[in-house]
Amino acid sequence: MFEYHTLVCQLTGMDVSNASLYDGGTAALEAVLMCLAAGKGRNKVLVPASVHPETRQILATYFANLDVELVTLPTPDGCLELEQLESELDDTTACVLIQHPNFFGCLEDVQAIADAAHSVGALVVQSFDPISLGILKRPGDLGVDVAVAEGQSLGNPMAFGGPYLGIMACREKFVRRMPGRIAGQTVDRRGKRCFVLTLQTREQHIRREKATSNICTNQGLFALRSTIYMAAMGPHGLQRTAELCLHKARYAAEQLTSGGRFELLFDQPTFKEFVIRDRENNVAEALDSSLSKNILGGVPLGAWYPELEDCFLVAVTEKRTKAEIDLLAELIHNNQTCELTTYA
């Protein structure tokens, strides 16, 4: 686990990491709980609508019977506007949870958000895409206090909804409020390097109901797989993977919007996701055509965002080929089946 801690801290630019949580949503929740505990009576949590809807639902469910004011900030242009944030910040604000890149794939101004939050004594939690850190600034370099992520993309397979890998890292001053296991390096009585679980008095097997969290089990196997992945990829491999995601997503966006029916919804920089608007407002028809070739062309957004019922979210990773992207564009534009051809 010590190697996992080291690599996560290098990846995020933070001081300390725990030995993983259940998944990305749980990690975000636990990070917010850390901030509430550190807030000395502050009970307001600000979350932009650009944070994943399922993460926001986890927070809403958990806080439903607690004295926590959960405020969702609108993001009509795809990102959180600084003026909107500043209008809600006050001395009751415990933290701001920001996702960067956000659910729409857009890049938030995390540094400005962190500066604004810190000016009123609030903390900042960033939910990040681990692959994006191959080309984007690390959370620790942007001034955030706690960084969380879903680590499935770090060499872990899809598993029908889980279990996955919840990544959490933070500044050293918050280490005693961090949930889960922490491995530390020390020396034994012979002076040899060894590793131990440390600061266990935070945990429930010792403190019971006074523990920092009820997290007692972690996804050790998935943490190990991600450790192997990060070590094998190295900084250059991670950068190349991120660049492939960026370039292929940009190519897919150009292909999908080449006709007159579809357009990009937001005029914002993006990473590997982007939102497409169907001018004919028939998202189901467009996506059904891609399913005829077993391609998940996108995710309709209307169920989460009623004002975006004519939109769908597209994600493109390094694994997608030019042939697959061209096929998706042809299927969605023509609403008909066609054969997948192989490009040299």
pLDDT under 70: residue ranges of the chain:
1-2, 198-219, 335-344
> pTM of the predicted model, to two decimals?
0.89
User: Given this model, what pLDDT does residue 27 score?
Assistant: 93
User: Given this model, what pLDDT does residue 76 score?
Assistant: 96
**Position of tokens 């279990």?**
163
Q: Where in the chain is the domain with CATH 3.90.1150.10?
A: 235-334
Query: What is the DSSP code string of 4-42?
Result: HHHHHHHHHT-SEE-S-BS-HHHHHHHHHHHHHHHTTT-
Q: Residue 279 half-sphere exposure, CB side, CA atoms within 13 Å?
A: 9
Q: Which of 142, 140, 141, 72 is nearest to 108 (CA)?
A: 142
Tokens of 285: 């028809």
Question: Could you report how far apart the first and last alpha carbons of the chain are, in Å?
Answer: 42
State pLDDT tens for residues 207-224: 556 666 666 555 678 889
The CATH architecture to which 235-334 belongs is Alpha-Beta Complex (3.90)
- What top-level class would CATH report for the domain 2-228? alpha beta
129-151 in b/e form (b: 16+ CB < 10 A) is: bbbbbbebebbbebbbbbbbbbb
User: Given this model, what pLDDT does residue 337 score?
Assistant: 42
